Amino acid sequence: MIHSLRLYPDTYVDSVVQLSGTRALRASDGVDWAAAAMATPANLEELGAQGFALAEVDGAGPNDLFVAVRAESAESADAAREAGEQAMFTGRGDGAGGEDARERSPRTLGEAVARQPGSNVAVISVPGDHAGLEAHKALSAGLDVLLFSDNVSVQTEIELKDRANRLGRLVMGPGAGTAMLGHTCLGFANVVGRGRVAVVAAAGTGAQEAAALLDRWGVGVSHVIGLGGRDLTAAVGGRMARSAVRGLVEDADTDVILLVSKPPDADVARAVVEAAAGKPLVAALIGVAEDFVAPDGVVVTRTLEAGAVAAVAAMGKQAPDPAAGLAALVRDAAGSLGPERTLVRGLFSGGTLCYESLVVLADVLGPVHSNTPLRSGLGLPAPDGAHTCLDLGEEEYTNGRPHPMIDAEARIELLREQAADPSVAVIVLDVVLGHGAHADPSSELAPVCAAITEDGGPAVVVYVLGTDGDPQGYERQRRGFADAGCVVTETAARASLAAAAIALRKPELTSVSL
């Protein structure tokens, strides 16, 4: 094998661009392994583990980009590197990734604003140590901020959000990957129709699921405001959520607010929903305690599906039955399983959808273990005979490889591994469409699913998160998985319920209210 490594000093590209480059590299003929990444200590460690000579990147740091290719020939490595450069640098300059490309792009926020003085939002994706300063610069320039960066301290987040509130601006993040303002999609986002429900979310794929369901159920969306996953924790105190809700109360284009969160602090969640006085609010608080008390007129749900159903009802319409026809599909899938197959395995690309699955499955099956557990004591490694759900977007699965929303490789490995376990009854997958996601996920995942079901393995339940407007083709993706023998559901929560029903051989469970 040929090990080819090239360093691009002082060339920072954000994580989405890195992932795009990595995908192009690995898709090239003759490539065994490849990565386009910043020279952080963790990425350099992974580089060494893959057999590359680190002397070639001696002195490199987090602002330096490397492209590494392990291929069967020098020609294959060169072709792959060219494809990776094309994916990363096209549109930044001459497309070659050289000095001209970097010189033609603004090097600072100030330069970017000077070139485009009408801008009103800054999308910031730099290393976490530098992200706070850049966000402060954006606020000083009168911009709202989508802070895509992670590894930003809680104290910096609090300082930024307090300042944004004083200035009447938004700071969405850190770790905010999804937003839609003025019907402009930012980060990972789905194409949704205009409507009069606004989504405020401390959950990335939770925001996408809520917006996609509202679109598919004929209501549409006015705005999607991402908050970052920590906003509703006790430490951050809902600083941006309260501000966003108050702003939407005054927004003439919004009639209903749908608040979405991973498991929140109860007192913080209560303060946020109280900020909506004067406008209908539905709070989809995943895993919230059943004794949570909300103000009169506020509808509280424990799943995204139920939240979207309630928001549709608040608009005076009725959502379609998400369980329609599902019992028959579950009955067929369960009928081919041997009695030894009893366990559920969830392999998720969306962190919020993994949390929701833990809630739904635990209600029916009891304890479910995860790398992002809802309760202490239910982490990994799981004991024998335990149900498990994995968030494959967490760092332990993305270190040195693309996010599973962009690259299917990690899930394909785990799909085959879990299918080989004779105790596994059903595997649950989420497939996220939209801007930033894999261009055709069913083309890679569906054949693996078909092989599993055809070989007498476990059942596979798939939920496709998307809309008719998404570039991947929502119905085409669903059809690809259905043709592969998968059970395809209408919502993410219903996929987990279907998985539990298959494991228990109880098709009637699919109609349980969520």
Query: What's the total number of domains in the chain?
Result: 4
Rounded to 10°, the helix 492-504/304-314 angle is 130
Task: State percent of the chain over pLDDT 70.
Answer: 97
Q: Which of 141, 175, 209 is the last residue of a domain?
A: 175
For the residues 262-268, what does the mean pLDDT come to?
A: 92
Residue 223 has pLDDT above 90, yes or no: yes
Per-residue pLDDT of 99-158, as tens digits, reads 454 456 788 899 999 999 999 999 998 888 899 999 999 999 999 999 999 889 999 999
For the residues 18-37, what does the mean pLDDT come to?
A: 91
Residue 272 has pLDDT above 80, yes or no: yes
For the residues 451-473, what does the mean pLDDT come to?
A: 96
Helix (H/G/I), strand (E/B), else coil: 184: strand
Per-residue pLDDT of 286-332, as tens digits, reads 988 888 989 998 999 999 999 999 999 999 999 999 999 999 999 99
Q: Which of 56, 85, 104 is the last residue of a domain?
A: 104
- Report yes or no: 336 and 320 within 8 Å, Cβ to Cβ: no
- Among 24-28, 218-222, 392-396, top mean pLDDT goes to 218-222
- Report yes or no: 293 and 270 within 8 Å, Cβ to Cβ: yes
Q: Which domain holds residue 148?
A: 107-175
CATH number at residue 242: 3.40.50.261
Tell me whether the omega of the peptide bond preceding residue 174 falls within 30 degrees of 0, making it cis.
yes
For the residues 44-56, what does the mean pLDDT come to?
A: 93
Q: What are phi and psi of 477, to 5 degrees?
A: -65, -45
pLDDT of residue 63: 86
The verdict on 436 and 489 lying in the same domain is yes
- Report yes or no: 250 and 276 within 8 Å, Cβ to Cβ: no
Residue 87 has pLDDT above 60, yes or no: yes
The verdict on 249 and 308 lying in the same domain is yes
The verdict on 55 and 85 lying in the same domain is yes
The verdict on 206 and 155 lying in the same domain is no
Structural tokens at position 168: 């009447």
Residue 191 and residue 184: Cα distance in Å, rounded?
Answer: 9
For the residues 340-347, what does the mean pLDDT come to?
A: 98
Q: Taking Cα atoms as reference points, which of 489, 494, 417 lies closest to residue 448?
A: 417
Per-residue pLDDT of 346-369, as tens digits, reads 999 999 999 999 999 999 999 999
Residue 341 and residue 6: Cα distance in Å, rounded?
Answer: 48
Taking the alpha carbons at both ends of the chain, their separation in whole angstroms is 53
Structural tokens at position 330: 């579950």
Q: Which of 146, 175, 204 is the last residue of a domain?
A: 175
pLDDT of residue 96: 44
Residue 32 and residue 26: Cα distance in Å, rounded?
Answer: 7
Residue 5 has pLDDT above 90, yes or no: yes
**Strands 121-124 vs 144-147: parallel, antiparallel or unpaired:** parallel
Residue 512 and residue 48: Cα distance in Å, rounded?
Answer: 50
